[in-house]
Amino acid sequence: MTVIEEMGALAKKASRTLANAGEKKNDALKAIAEALKNNSESIIEANNTDLENGRKNGLSASLLDRLMLNESRIDGIAQGVLEVAALPDPIGTVISGGTRPNGLKITKVRVPLGVIGIIYEARPNVTADAAALCLKSGNAVILRGGKEAIFSNKRIADIMRDAVESVGLDRNSIQLIEDTSRSSSVELMELTDYLDVLIPRGGKGLIRAVVENAKVPVIETGAGNCHVYVDESADINMAADIIYNAKTSRPSVCNAIETILVHEAVARDALPEIKERLDKKGVELRGCEKTAEILGDCVIPASESDWETEYGDYILAVKVVTDFDEAIAHIAKYSTGHSECIVTSDYKSARRFTEEVDAAAVYVNASTRFTDGGMFGLGAEIGISTQKLHARGPMGLNELTSMKFVIEGDGQVR
């Protein structure tokens, strides 16, 4: 057995006790939150080693910032763990049930998935966030974080494992892969005997690599090439507000928009107002010919690749469309199926858009930035699924569960 196979076997064993651990899971979460706060000094010390290594290796300032932990960030992480503890336990929920004509009582009950693998990149807070959600939903977790955060991750994982053990649960409910070479992540992707699902959290490259190479079931997350379509009947002021918010409130996240489509009947009125709003944040516009005609030289000519790109930055592609159908067709061609929005005052357009656009979240007259577990009222989220199998959109605790049928009889045979 390799090290990672052994971890798989230990996780599977731990998952059996977790499946019916009930309130002990909350005891463990509370113990974790307390231990993280009590051990913040040693976490910061480990984090300093990561930061030093990062500086030596030329990490960018924004990556170093994502990597950095201080007292207040650790408090925030601990607080997040307590919030997970406060959520209702999904395990044991009866999803549906009834009695069959032959007297068999059949109940569909929510159960944990079993063993969850998480592959993620530089942010050490994911170590605690993901572990807390997995633990609460009765799953054992194997974490494989990025090498940039390995000292912080190890320290956090050790603290959590001790805390889990302190309330009488199996410390292997949470495990961290310490080998951050490529081979360890490939091995995790192929751990079919032990892993029930693998969730990659990170950039496009990571997610692509997991989808291409994994033999275990995967939930794809995070790619967001999102659009706002400004319909002929749109309230222009509302459209400009929504576009400004969806583009600039946090451009690096997946629910930010990358392209706007504007009906040509309102383009001459709408585009200048939209531009005025976006100018406040210096957003670069890459537009089609008609856009340039209306807005002038400030518009960089858009090429095919602009319609495909998730900029994650203060850049917005702009296309004037001749009608609703062209907008829908553009979205169908380029959308990653994350979040799509129409701004309209027309009942039929709203209805058609929500029916015909195929995305995890389809909006009428609201910013795509709301696609988020907390905003949707699901509690904390482990990520946003952009696939259609098992989970779509923000994934809360329910999305980390499976179900089983319990059939109770008194001797029925078929």
Distances (CA, A) of 176 to 35, 60, 171, 303: 17, 25, 11, 43
Nearer to a copy of itself, 115 or 261 (CB): 115
Closest distance between a copy of itself and the C-beta of residue 241, in Å?
Answer: 6
Nearer to a copy of itself, 3 or 407 (CB): 407
Nearer to a copy of itself, 298 or 389 (CB): 389
What phi and psi, each to the nearest 5 degrees, are found at residue 308? -95, -15
Query: For residue 58, what are the contacts with CB-CB under 8 A and spacing of at least 6?
Result: none
Closest distance between a copy of itself and the C-beta of residue 78, in Å?
Answer: 25
Residue 388 in contact with residue 336, Cβ under 8 Å?
A: no
**Among 412, 414, 402, which Cα is nearest to 112's?**
402
Q: How far apart are CA 275 and CA 247, in angstroms?
A: 12
Closest distance between a copy of itself and the C-beta of residue 33, in Å?
Answer: 26
Closest distance between a copy of itself and the C-beta of residue 368, in Å?
Answer: 9
Residue 383 in contact with residue 121, Cβ under 8 Å?
A: no
Closest distance between a copy of itself and the C-beta of residue 282, in Å?
Answer: 19
Nearer to a copy of itself, 55 or 100 (CB): 100
Q: If you write DSSP's letter for every residue of 316-346 in order, what string do you get? A: EEEEEESSHHHHHHHHHHH--SSEEEEE-S-
Nearer to a copy of itself, 191 or 288 (CB): 191
Residue ranges in 217-288 assigned as alpha helix (H): 236-248, 264-279
**Among 312, 234, 240, which Cα is nearest to 275's?**
240
Nearer to a copy of itself, 153 or 386 (CB): 386
Nearer to a copy of itself, 35 or 189 (CB): 189
Closest distance between a copy of itself and the C-beta of residue 403, in Å?
Answer: 6
Task: Say which amino acid occupies 51.
Answer: L
Q: Which residues would be at the binding site for a copy of itself (CB under 8 A)?
A: 16, 19-20, 98, 100, 104, 106, 111, 113-114, 192, 196-197, 211-212, 215, 217-219, 235, 238, 241-242, 244-246, 249, 332, 350, 354-356, 358-367, 369-371, 375-377, 387-390, 392-393, 402-414
Closest distance between a copy of itself and the C-beta of residue 413, in Å?
Answer: 4
**Among 197, 132, 226, 190, which Cα is nearest to 390's?**
197
Closest distance between a copy of itself and the C-beta of residue 172, in Å?
Answer: 16
Distances (CA, A) of 202 to 141, 161, 206, 270, 382: 17, 24, 6, 35, 12
The continuous run of DSSP H or E covering 110 comes out as: strand 105-112
Nearer to a copy of itself, 148 or 310 (CB): 310
Q: What angle do CA 349, 352, 358 make, to 5 degrees?
A: 130
Residue 149 in contact with residue 67, Cβ under 8 Å?
A: yes
Nearer to a copy of itself, 61 or 347 (CB): 347
What is the DSSP pairing of strand 315-321 with strand 339-343? unpaired
Nearer to a copy of itself, 263 or 369 (CB): 369
Ramachandran class of 392: left when φ > 0, alpha when ψ lies in -120 to 50, beta otherwise: beta
Nearer to a copy of itself, 53 or 370 (CB): 370
Closest distance between a copy of itself and the C-beta of residue 313, in Å?
Answer: 19
Closest distance between a copy of itself and the C-beta of residue 144, in Å?
Answer: 19
Tokens of 185: 């992540």
Cβ–Cβ contacts within 10 Å for residue 234, how many? Answer: 26
Closest distance between a copy of itself and the C-beta of residue 162, in Å?
Answer: 27
